[in-house]
Amino acid sequence: MPIAGQDYPGDLAQMRAWFPDDEACLDYLDWLRWPNGFQCPACESYSATRQAGRYRCRSCRKRVSVTAGTLFDKTRTPLTVRFEAVWLMTAGKQGVSAAHLHRVLPISSYQTAWTMLSKLRSAMSPAGSLLLAGRVEVDETFIGGPRPGTVGRGAAGKTLVAGAIEVKDHGWGRARLAVIPDASASSLKQFIRANIEAGSTVVSDGWSAYPGALEGYEHERLNVSASGMPAHHSLPAVHRLFASVKRLIDGTYQGSGTAEHLPEYLDEFVFRFNRRHSSSRGLVFLRLLQRAILAQPVSYQELVRVPKPKSASPTGVSGPRAQPGSLNIGPLDRPWRVNGSKIDK
């Protein structure tokens, strides 16, 4: 297991002390990407020289930067800013919004902040992780504001989300959330097989589609309507899961988690939820950086689900673009004391 204070910063103070400039950030990413030393991504050779922050492979002569082919590929935003964003995204239970990043960090636009967070979310997918196992509660819920239409599983205009969570003897385990097209047996079967290990015990309500969706699983069926108890009493774990993710959407993102981008928000929530018992928030920071450095580059065009053309092209803009802001501004000698300035009371 990685060790706090040695392999990752244990708290915010250590994080800022470890990464005061882009050079330190780049060296940390180098260590994460090639813990056993540089390996050329083209020819897999271990022999290389380093020049001006880049490696040159001795075998194929290819020049490779530490961030090339990762989520940090071709970024103009300083790594100090990106590391701070990763910390803010992983340290709090409810994450951080692009609007908040734009306000508190030297980021030039909301679009830049949104793109930064969206790239990180693309690395948070649970695909490839171990499947849920043991006793697992499963149910569905709708996410979206009040809209006209039929109530219940036939509701129109909202997004249907399936959830699953392990139920342990002393609490709850890992979880999964995913958007599904409908509550049919085929849709539920696809979600269950993609997220729950065969042979596990699945606990559900009395919805008629579950028996057909649970072939190969032990099925514990609860008739919620006949019990006279609210659904969140019969299936407390999965309903607490739904309540938590809705707080994320309505709180941090002010209800702006659109249907097109909802899967990424669900992945972000699950990534943090499944690591809620980590001994340090710095460990979650490390895990996300590990995924980001191994992930493939993603462009802004790939992140936008429904492109919206600009109402008008910018005019009067010429010359080189301004350099993005950095957190590496060096120590300042008590500017509030300069020239004997005073604040009006």
- Rounded to two decimals, the pTM is 0.88
Evaluate if residue 324 carries a pLDDT over 90: no
Rounded CA separation 322/312 (Å): 22
Higher pLDDT, residue 226 or 147: 226
CA neighbor of 162 nearest in space, from 238, 56, 107 = 238
The model's pLDDT over 82-100, given as tens digits with 9 standing for 90+, comes to 999 999 999 988 889 999 9
* Average pLDDT of the chain to the nearest whole number: 88
- Say what the pLDDT of residue 126 is: 93
The model's confidence at residue 224, banded by pLDDT at 50, 70 and 90, is confident
- Say what the pLDDT of residue 336 is: 77
Evaluate if residue 320 carries a pLDDT over 70: no
The model's confidence at residue 305, banded by pLDDT at 50, 70 and 90, is confident
The model's confidence at residue 228, banded by pLDDT at 50, 70 and 90, is low
Evaluate if residue 328 carries a pLDDT over 90: no
Evaluate if residue 310 carries a pLDDT over 70: no
Q: What is the mean pLDDT of residues 176-203?
A: 96
The model's confidence at residue 183, banded by pLDDT at 50, 70 and 90, is very high
Which of 1-15, 66-80, 216-230 is least confident?
Answer: 216-230
Dihedral-angle region of residue 97 (phi above 0 means left; psi in -120 to 50 means alpha; beta otherwise): beta
The model's pLDDT over 103-148, given as tens digits with 9 standing for 90+, comes to 999 998 999 999 999 999 999 999 889 999 999 999 999 987 555 5
With beta carbons less than 8 A apart as the criterion, state whether 44 and 93 touch.
Answer: no
Rounded CA separation 248/90 (Å): 13
What's the token pair of residue 141?
A: 């819920």
Beta-bridge partner residues of 65 = 54
Total number of residues shown for the chain: 345
With beta carbons less than 8 A apart as the criterion, state whether 134 and 230 touch.
Answer: no
The model's pLDDT over 6-64, given as tens digits with 9 standing for 90+, comes to 999 999 999 999 999 999 999 999 999 999 999 999 999 999 998 877 899 999 999 99
Higher pLDDT, residue 80 or 310: 80
Higher pLDDT, residue 101 or 144: 101
Q: Which sign does the torsion angle of CA 119, 308, 306, 101 carry?
A: positive
Rounded CA separation 188/176 (Å): 13
